[in-house]
Amino acid sequence: MTTKTFKRALVWFRRDLRVLDNPALSQACELSKSVVAVFVVSPVQWQKHHKSAIQIDFTRRRLLALKSELSELNIDLKVLIADDFNQQLDCVLDCVESWQIDAVFSNREYEVDEVNRDQQFLKLLRQTPAKPACYSYEERCIIPPGQIVNGSHAPYKVFTPFSKNWLKQLATMGWHCLAKPNKLAIHSNTFASAAELAEHWHCSLAAEDWPAAEGLSKDYAVATPDILAQLRTFAREQSQDYQQQRDFPALDNTSKLSPHLAIGSLSAKQCLARLCHEHGAPWELAEGPKTWLNELIWREFYCHVMVAWPHVCMNQAFNPRYQQIQWPNDSLLFDKWCQGKTGFPLVDAAMRQLNQTGWMHNRLRMIVASFLSKDLMIDWRWGEQYFMSRLIDGDLSANNGGWQWAASTGTDAAPYFRIFNPETQSKRFDGSGLFIRRFIPELADCPTALLHKAGAGGHYIAPIVDHGERRQMSLALYKDHHEQLAQAG
């Protein structure tokens, strides 16, 4: 049995809101006699990062469940409020001092602001009289950023060779999910509640005290047994058909686990382990489970890219050649796109799904992103921010990677002349019009033969642009930009 090293440890939760497969929590419990946990609500920082109201509500509800689950381990979870990352530092340092913490445990975050915050925290922690120990762990990716490189020891810019190397390394290192920690002998509230923190750090998990509307995320489970049941059901019963059915938005055949991955109520490693438990080793999977695993690898790829090229966190194009492209940026067209009133039925249905539910089918994300950047010729960053402000599964690296792919400015970028045709996409992936009619009820009686056309053959609002004309304008925009770059040398 491992000897306990620390008397009082602090686990700083971020986007890792789970008790299973949580290395920071597991190590804190293994090495400490008593553990207290903290989560810091940061409304100003969330606003800066365009965090959606539905994800905030989802986070609050998950924290309520997490608080109960931690209590069963004799760990008290304190949820405090500090507007931004600078205040977060003061808040957590106050916790360390007030509760006489001798070790701080956390899982790493990779975004630029978060990395800078953690570096500053470590510096300040070392300056305190007690100088508590500080430990951080990898948990967001199955294979941590920096470990997958090409023959020149450089990170990959292209997905396919990255995925092959990822699978090769996985075969060597294997995978193992951490179990729930054992219950501690000493309940942390025996010391955590004894010292009151400054009043402005206090926070409540009541919905009225949070910067989001109550109930927005009510359709999403937050208790660990329910989350695991959702994962098991998908892996066992639906993943086999995933490759054939994933692109059809009218079908309920996607996992809907992305919100849990975004806030960390579920880990990518748990998803991998369950998939392999049901269907075998990653390199032996049938097409359906293999295709879903590929989605997890895409998620890892974009996270690795963000770490290797952090400028993508700072509103910059991955490919510097496209940083200064002159987008026309018509704000009226953008508003129509946001509202789902472009006159293109599938585009509008997708945007209404996003606005009404906080989620959008992945195929539709590609279609509406292509439409914004190529048909409307609007800066992809406008769309990236709008998605983050609405999505329950908003994640900077995945969202940024997807948008830059659609706009042909990122890694694995589609050539700039690849432009989705909304009508063709609509016929191919919603042939019966079931999805369109679900979110655009005014088209309930529209003949299917007309449903996919811009304006639905006069049965719908007039299209705001002509796809054929805008396609040519978009091609000219990119071509002119390339010629300007060539002239500039």
How far are the Cα atoms of 64, 75, 76, 297 from residue 68, in angstroms, in the given order? 7, 9, 9, 32
Token pair of 128, please? 């305190």
d(CA 157, CA 410): 9
Considering 165, 319, 362, 421, which one is annotated as catalytic? 362
Residue with tokens 């809101």: 17
* The one catalytic residue among 327, 355, 421, 423: 327
Q: Which of 30, 97, 278, 295 is catalytic?
A: 295
Render the burial of 225-247: b for 16+ CB within 10 Å, e for the rest: eebbebbeebbeebbbebbeebb
CA proximity to 88, closest of 124, 56, 62: 124
Residues 10 and 168: their CA atoms lie apart, in Å, by: 36
403 included as an active-site residue: yes
Tokens describing residue 228:
């695991």
The strand pairing partners of 13, in sequence order, are 39
Residue 299: CB atoms within 10 A of its CB come to 22
Active site residue 309: no
Rg over alpha carbons for the chain, rounded to the nearest Å, is 24
Q: Is 210 a catalytic residue?
A: no
- Spell out the SS3 assignment of the chain: CCCCCEEEEEEEECCCCCCCCCHHHHHHHHHEEEEEEEEEECHHHHHHCCCCHHHHHHHHHHHHHHHHHHHCCCCEEEEEECCCHHHHHHHHHHHHHHCCCCEEEEECCCCHHHHHHHHHHHHHHHHCCCCCEEEEECCCCCCCCCCCECCCCCECCCHHHHHHHHHHHHHHHCCCCCCCCCCCCCCCHHHHCCCCCCHHHCCCCCHHHCCCCCCCCCCCCCCHHHHHHHHHHHHHHHHHHHHHHCCCCCCCCCCCCHHHHHHCCCCHHHHHHHHHHHHCCHHHCCHHHHHHHHHHHHHHHHHHHHHHCHHHHHCCCCCHHHCCCCCCCCHHHHHHHHHCCCCCHHHHHHHHHHHHHCCCCHHHHHHHHHHHHHHCCCCHHHHHHHHHHHCCCCCHHHHHHHHHHHCCCCCCCCCCCCCCCHHHHHHHHCCCCHHHHHHCHHHCCCCHHHHCCHHHHHCCCCCCCCHHHHHHHHHHHHHHHHHHHHHHC
298 is catalytic: yes
Out of 210, 298, 337, 359, the active site residue is 298
Residue 380 bears catalytic tag: yes
Identity of the amino acid at 358: G
* Active-site annotation, residues: 295, 298, 327, 362, 380, 403
